[in-house]
Amino acid sequence: MEHFISHLQTSFTAMSQHWQHADQAFLVGVGLLVVVVWFLPTLIAVVFNRQHLGKIAILNIPAGISWIAWGALCIWAATGKLSQALADKAQLPVVPEQPSNTRTE
Taking alpha carbons only, the member of 9, 12, 29, 8 closest to residue 20 is 12
Per-residue model confidence (pLDDT) at position 65: 86
pLDDT in tens, 36-46: 999 999 999 99
pLDDT at 74 over 60: yes
User: Could you tell me the pTM of the whole model?
Assistant: 0.59
Taking alpha carbons only, the member of 76, 37, 38 closest to residue 56 is 76
In Å, what is the CA distance from 80 to each residue of 46, 48, 54, 91?
10, 5, 13, 17
Report the alpha-carbon angle 83-84-86, nearest 5: 65
Per-residue model confidence (pLDDT) at position 92: 54
